Chain A
Amino acid sequence: MYAAAKVELSRCTGCKLCILACPDPNVICFLADDKKVKVDVTRCKGCGLCVAVCPKAALALEALTESEPART
């Protein structure tokens, strides 16, 4: 089973702490227009560091479904 971080957009304040905690590059992108973050689930390794640092509990680790498979 592959797990990846998912963002609850209504809770995200765009503080970018998750971006500064993620050990993998180009996984969490900042959407300048919405002031929110977006996770590329095909790159996420599911370590949970972003979940641990998010002050608003906007991130959570979830299992990937078949419609969004991990990159092989």
Chain B
Amino acid sequence: MTKQMFRIAPGFEEIMPQEYRDLVTHGPYDRNVGVADLGTFKELLEEHPLCAGCGLALSLRLFLASLPAPADTVVVGSTGCSAIAFPQVGLHNIHGLFGNQNAIASGLKRALKLRFPDQPKDVVVVAGDGATADIGLEMVMHSWFRGENIATVMLDNEAYANTGGQESGMSPRGTVLNMAPTGKKFEKVAMPEIAREAGCAYVATTSPLHARRFEKAIRRAILVARDVGSTYVQVFCPCPTNYKFRPDETLSVIRKREKEGVFQYREYITPQAQEYLAAVEGEKQ
């Protein structure tokens, strides 16, 4: 957990891959960069095996650029499409079992608080809709009940996408997928409402279509989680492979859902979190 570990030991510069050297020389560690600076620094994510046009990959890329303190952040992932990309991420990350990601994050955050009492360490859970809303719902909700200081980010691609396309709790009613031929029989699980009622201090729904808004939601969730309590961000990131649209239509699918009113950007902040954010965001300006 020291920033020194990213640096290359003297004499080993030549044998390290170019990508790693780039990360050390112009990566985002200890620099105040955000999504607006993308394209000018070496990103934390490297070439990943996710599909062309993947909305989840775009969200993950924007998420990693939005972190307020990448060198002091630990990401806890879970089984799903995002897990395929995490081995290529230049950040401390842990792969949980399918569903126990928030339990791991809770323990990790408590240990980090004891080990580094003066240095804020951000623990962020990044998992898919299956791990958050279906298989791991119990542990996700209990971490919220306990008010753990962790941020939970759900990358909602509305399906179990890397196992052939099964419906998840987050698929909209009527969705027909490769492995859900008769169509889904019930509505999308109301996760933002569940999060709010379970005691989250900050809840937001966002999408990678509006990068600045996305960055704001992620930053706020991480900052509030440091001092106030649990936070939840739900990211709508459509899947071209399973929902059978062209890879270049990923963003237009989000725009269409926005226009239809099916997908809405929402933000819920408790008065305590609002006060905290006003102080923190005021300091920056």
Chain A interfacial positions (CB closer than 8 Å to B):
16, 19-26, 28-30, 32, 37, 43, 45-49, 51-53
Report yes or no: B248 in contact with A48, Cβ–Cβ below 8 A.
yes
Report yes or no: A20 in contact with B62, Cβ–Cβ below 8 A.
yes
Contact of A30 among B40, B44, B61, B251 (CB under 8 A): B40
* B84: min CB distance to chain A, Å: 13
Residues of chain B lying within 8 A (CB to CB) of residue A22: 58, 61
Given A19-B39, A23-B58, are A49 and B47 neighbors across the interface (CB < 8 Å)? no
Contact of B43 among A20, A26, A30, A51 (CB under 8 A): A26
Report yes or no: A23 in contact with B50, Cβ–Cβ below 8 A.
yes
Given A25-B61, A43-B47, are A19 and B247 neighbors across the interface (CB < 8 Å)? no
For the complex, is B194 an interface residue (Cβ under 8 Å from A)?
no
Residues of chain A lying within 8 A (CB to CB) of residue B47: 24-26, 43
Residues of chain B lying within 8 A (CB to CB) of residue A43: 47
Given A23-B57, A25-B46, are A48 and B247 neighbors across the interface (CB < 8 Å)? yes
Report yes or no: A49 in contact with B35, Cβ–Cβ below 8 A.
no
Report yes or no: B248 in contact with A26, Cβ–Cβ below 8 A.
no
- 10 smallest beta-carbon distances between A and B, as pairs: A48-B248, A47-B53, A30-B39, A47-B52, A47-B247, A23-B57, A45-B52, A23-B58, A19-B39, A25-B43
Report yes or no: B52 in contact with A52, Cβ–Cβ below 8 A.
no
Most buried by B among A19, A21, A49: A49
Chain B interfacial positions (CB closer than 8 Å to A):
35-36, 38-40, 42-48, 50, 52-55, 57-58, 61-62, 211, 246-252
Report yes or no: B250 in contact with A49, Cβ–Cβ below 8 A.
yes
Complex Cα–Cα for A42 and B192 (A): 40
Complex Cα–Cα for A21 and B62 (A): 9
Contact of A20 among B42, B50, B211 (CB under 8 A): B211
Complex Cα–Cα for A20 and B209 (A): 8
Residues of chain B lying within 8 A (CB to CB) of residue A20: 35, 38, 62, 211
CB closest chain-B residue, reference A20: B211
Complex Cα–Cα for A23 and B63 (A): 12
Report yes or no: A51 in contact with B248, Cβ–Cβ below 8 A.
yes
* B158: min CB distance to chain A, Å: 17
Complex Cα–Cα for A19 and B208 (A): 12
Report yes or no: B61 in contact with A16, Cβ–Cβ below 8 A.
no
* A54: min CB distance to chain B, Å: 11
Report yes or no: A24 in contact with B57, Cβ–Cβ below 8 A.
yes
Residues of chain A lying within 8 A (CB to CB) of residue B44: 25
Residues of chain B lying within 8 A (CB to CB) of residue A51: 248
Complex Cα–Cα for A32 and B52 (A): 27
Residues of chain B lying within 8 A (CB to CB) of residue A25: 43-48, 61
Residues of chain A lying within 8 A (CB to CB) of residue B250: 23, 47, 49
CB closest chain-B residue, reference A61: B248
Beyond the given pairs A19-B38, A49-B247, A52-B252, 11 more chain A to chain B contacts, judged by CB atoms under 8 angstroms and listed by A's residue number, are: A23-B54, A23-B58, A23-B61, A23-B250, A24-B57, A26-B43, A37-B39, A47-B250, A48-B53, A48-B248, A49-B53
